[in-house]
Amino acid sequence: MERRLTAILAADVVGYSTLMGEDEVGTLERLKSCRRELVDPAIKEFHGRMVKLMGDGALVEFASVVDAIQCAAAIQRRMAVRDQGTSSARHIRFRIGVNLGDVIVEKNDIYGDGVNIAARLEAMAEPGGICISGTAFDHAVHKVDVGFASLGEQRLKNIADPVRAYRLLLDPAAAGKIKVAVRRPVSPRAIGMAGIAVLFVVLLAGLFAWQSRTSSLAARPSVAVLPFTNLGGDPSQDYFADGITEDLITDLTKLSGLDVIARNSVFAYKNRPAALADVARDLGVRFVVQGSVRRTGEQIRINAQLIDTASGDNLWANRFDRGMAGVFSVQDEMSGEIAKALGIQASAAESERMARPPTNNLEAYDYYLQAETASRSGLLAGLREALALYEKAEGLDSAFAEAFAADARTTVYVWRESFNDIIQSAPARKRAYEKASRALELEPDLSSPYAILGIMQVVNRRYEDAIASAKKAVSIGPGDAEAQAALGYVQLYAGNHAEAANAVETALRLDPDLSAIDREAAGLVFLLQGNVEKAIETLERTRDDAPTVANFRFTLAAAYVRGGRLPDAKAAIADGLRLGAGSSYVDSLAGWQMTQHFRNPQDLATIVNALRQAGLPEWPYGFTPDEHDQLKGAEIASLVLGHTLQGQIEPALQPAFLQIGSDGKAAFRTTTRLVTETVYVDGDLLCEQSENLFGRPDCGPVYRRNDAAGKGYSYVNTSKVFHFMVVQ
C-alpha cells in the first residue's frame, strides 16, 4: 500500500440538485462549459491532477499546497465574473476545500483522512468561497495572493481530532491579511452585559489593522494578561487559576492610564501555546503578563512576570507564597507592582479600589469562582449550577458585591434567552434587578451593575434611563470592554448611531476577539450608519464564528440586501431557516420585529424591509394564509372570548388548548408547557399578553380554514401557528 503527503482540492456545485430539477439539460451544459473553459485550464496552469469527477464534484491532487490554493482562488475569482448576463438563479457556484494531508494511493485514486478533511472543509465553505485546513495554511501563508480569516478549531464528521480551518479572503485588497477569529461557544460571560441573548446584540467588527493599533501605544500603555497556568496537577482547580487571572484583569482595568485587554480575548489563549509576538500582534498590545498558580491544600504559590514584547525584556517578575487567607493581598501586590513597572501612578481612589478585597470569606470566594466557570459554559445545566453557587456565596457573605453583580449578569442572560425551565420570565427579571441594585448598594463604584441596568432599561424602552445607566458604567470603568459594549448596545437602540459606533470601536480595542453575538449588533450599528461594506465584513465573521446559530444569518442577509447582493441574501435566509428549523422567535418578520427595541421606527423599517426582500417569511413556519379568509375583530371576539379552543400547533402538530374566560383571562396549554395570560382583541387582531416576550402583547390575525368540516380556524402570531376548533 502506497502512502504520500499531498495537497487535495475538493469542489462541488452549490444547489446542484435544484439547478438540475429546474433545467437538467441547460445545467449540465453550463457545468461542462465551466469545466472545459475554466476549471480544467486552471488545474493545468497550477500543475494539478484530476483524480476523479463525481457528478457535480471533483477531487484534484497537487504536489504543492501553494499551487492548490492558487488554483482554488483562480477558479473562484473567474467564476465570480462568469455568467454575468445569466439570471442569478441559474448561476453555477462552487464550494472548494483544500487540505494538506497523508493519503492512501490505490491505482489512480486516493483515500484516507487527508481526502475526507478536504471534503468536509468544502462543505463548510460559502457559495463561491474556499475553506482550507491549518496544515495548508501553515505552508501557504505569505506565499499566495489571498487573505485568511481564522475559523478556529472545527469538529468535522468522522474525523477524530479537531481541525484548524481558515476561510480565504479573495478580494485583492485583503491579500496578505490574517484575521484572527478564535472560535468559542457563545456564553453568558462572553455575552456579558450586552449580548444577553441570541436574539440581541451588541458590537463589533473584525480586528483593526496592526498599524492603526500600534499608533495608539505611544499615548497609553496596553497590556494583556494571559490565562495563568494551573500547576497543581488537578484539572478541577482550573477555576481557581482562571479566577486569579480574571481578578488581576479586573484590578488593572481600574487604572485610568492603562488599556487592558478583556477576558474574552485573552482566554482564547488558554492551553494554547503562542509566541508573544503573535499575541502582541493579534491583540494590539505591547505588554503581556504571564503566570502560573499552584494550590496545595490551603497554600498557594503564584508566579508572574511582565514582558515588553517589543524588546523581549522582562520588566517585572515575582513569586508569591502565601496561605489562602493571603490571596487577596497577593492580587493587590501584583496589580500595584505591574502598574509601577509600567510607569503608571494610581490615584488614591484607584489604589483604594484595588486594595479592597471582594470578600473576607474565602469559602464564599471559592463558590464565586466556581460559579463564574459554570456560567461561562453556556449550557443550561451550567447556568443553573452558577445561579445556585452565586446564592451560596451571597449567603456566606451578604456584602459580596461582585457575587451579586455576576448573579445579575447571568440572570439577565437567562431572562433574555427565555430559559423558563431555569427561572420563569417574571421572577428572572425581578431577580436581575434586585441583584444589580444590591451590588450597587454594597459598592457604588462597580461598573457592571450599571451596564446591566442599562441593557434591561433599553429592553423596557426606557431609553433616557438606559443611556444614563450605560454612561455611568463607562464613567466608572472606561477600560471595561463590557461597559463600553453595553453603551454601544443602548445607543444603537436609542437611535444614536454615531455614539453607538464610538462605543463599539472602544470595546473592540479593549476586546479584539469579541463574541459573535456582540459582533452581530456591531454589524447593525455599521449597517444603520450606512457603512454597508463594514457591516457585511462584521456579520460574515459573526456567521463564521457561530456557524450553527440561525439568527446571525438573518442579520447578514439584511446587510447583503443593502449591499446589492440579493442572491447572497436569499442564500443566507435559506441557511438560517434550515439551521433554526422553527426553533427561534426571529425565523419570521413578525418575530424579528417583536424582539427589537428600536426607538426610531425608521431604523426598524430599514432592517425589516431588507429582510422582506431577502425572503424572510412574514409568519413562523412559513405559514401563508389566504387574506380573504381573515376574520374581522367582532368575529374574533364572538368566536373566542369565553370559549375553549382545541387544536394543534406547528410544526409538529402538537395538541394544544387555549381556554379563555369572558374577562379575557386565559391559559394556553400543550403537553410541554402552560402559560397564563390575558387575551383581547385589538382591531382585527387577537392578542396574547403574558410575562413572555418581555411582557409585550403578541398579536396576530385569525383565519377561517377551508377544511372538510368547514369549522376550522388558524391563529398566527410571532410565536405560534395554532389550528383550532371551538369546543366549548
Q: What is the DSSP string of 514-539?
A: --HHHHHHHHHHHHHHT-HHHHHHHH
Domains of the chain: 2-179 (3.30.70.1230), 190-196+204-516 (3.40.50.10070), 624-726 (2.40.128)
254-291 as b/e, with b when 16 or more CB fall inside 10 Å?
bbebbbbbbbbbbbbbbeeeeebeebbbbbbbbbbbbb
Least confidently predicted of 12-16, 396-400, 518-522 = 518-522
| Average pLDDT of the segment spanning 610-621 | 92
3-state secondary structure of 644: strand
pLDDT of residue 208: 34
pTM here? 0.60
The mean pLDDT of 181-194, rounded to a whole number, is 38
Q: pLDDT grade, residue 212 (50/70/90)?
A: very low
What one-letter code names the amino acid at 80?
Answer: A
Residue 41: pLDDT over 90: yes
Pairwise pLDDT comparison (233 vs 613), residue with the higher score: 613
**Chain segment 77-125, per-residue pLDDT in tens:** 998 888 766 666 677 889 999 999 888 888 788 888 889 999 999 988 8
* Selection from 409, 498, 497 nearest residue 456 by Cα: 409
φ/ψ region of 128 (left if φ > 0, alpha if ψ in -120 to 50, else beta) reads left
Per residue in 539-568, pLDDT (tens digit) is 998 888 778 777 889 999 999 999 999 999
- Percent of the chain surpassing pLDDT 90: 35
Above 50 in pLDDT, residue 182? no
Which pLDDT belongs to residue 491? 95
Amino acid at 71: C
Does residue 513 have a pLDDT over 80? no
Taking all residues of the chain, what is their mean pLDDT, rounded to a whole number? Answer: 83
Is a pLDDT exceeding 80 seen at residue 582? Answer: no
Closest CA relative to residue 411, chosen from 391, 431, 392: 431
DSSP, res 691: S
The SS3 call for residue 288 is: strand
Q: With cut-offs at 50, 70 and 90, classify the pLDDT of residue 635.
A: very high
pLDDT, one tens digit per residue, over 263-312 is 778 887 887 767 777 888 888 888 999 888 888 878 888 888 888 888 77
Supply the pLDDT for residue 49. 92
What is the mean pLDDT of the segment spanning 217-242?
Answer: 79
Q: How many CB atoms lie within 10 A of CB 442?
A: 18
pLDDT of residue 573: 92
Query: Higher pLDDT residue, 44 or 343?
Result: 44
Interaxial angle between packed helices 425-442 and 401-416, expressed in degrees from 0 to 180 and rounded to the nearest 10: 160
- The torsion of the CA quartet 613, 614, 620, 623, rounded to 10 degrees, works out to 60
Closest CA to 124 of 533, 520, 575, 556: 575
Most trustworthy range by pLDDT among 105-109, 529-533, 680-684: 680-684
Indicate the pLDDT class of residue 707, thresholds 50, 70 and 90.
low
Supply the pLDDT for residue 190: 37
For 446-502, write each residue's pLDDT tens digit: 888 999 999 889 988 999 999 999 999 998 888 788 888 889 989 999 999 999 999
**How wide is the angle at C-alpha 445 spanned by C-alphas 439 and 450, nearest 5°?**
60
* Lookup result for grid cell 402552560: 674
> Cβ(718)–Cβ(698) under 8 Å?
yes
Pairing between strand 721-726 and 644-649? Answer: antiparallel
Closest CA to 355 of 212, 455, 226, 255: 255
- What was the pLDDT predicted at 109? 86
User: Are 651 and 716 in contact, with CB atoms under 8 Å apart?
Assistant: no
How many Å apart are CA 581 and CA 202, to the nearest integer?
25
Which pLDDT tens digit goes with each residue over 271-283?
776 777 788 888 8
What is residue 705's three-state secondary structure?
strand
Residue 413: pLDDT band (50, 70, 90) is: confident
With a cut of 80, say whether residue 518 has pLDDT above it: no
Q: Is the pLDDT of residue 355 over 80?
A: no
Residue with the three cell numbers 445607543: 491
Query: What type of residue is 56?
Result: D
% of the chain at pLDDT higher than 70: 90
Residue among 369, 452, 376 at smallest CA distance from 403: 369
Question: Could you say which DSSP state residue 324 is in?
Answer: G
> HSE-up of 639 (CA within 13 Å, CB side)?
26
- Of 637, 621, 630, 620, which Cα lies nearest the Cα of 686? 637
Dump strand ranges (E) for 222-298. 222-225, 229-230, 259-260, 287-296
Distances (CA, A) of 657 to 333, 582, 640, 668, 695: 63, 20, 12, 6, 21
187-214: average pLDDT: 35
Residue 313 vs residue 146, higher pLDDT: 146
| E strand or H helix that includes residue 265 | helix 263-266
Rg, Å, the chain Cα set: 28
Asked if pLDDT for residue 201 goes beyond 50, the answer is no
User: Is pLDDT above 50 for 187?
Assistant: no
Mean pLDDT of all residues in 62-72: 93
Element (H, E) at 453: helix 448-459
Secondary structure (3-state) at 308: strand
Higher pLDDT, 418 or 328: 328
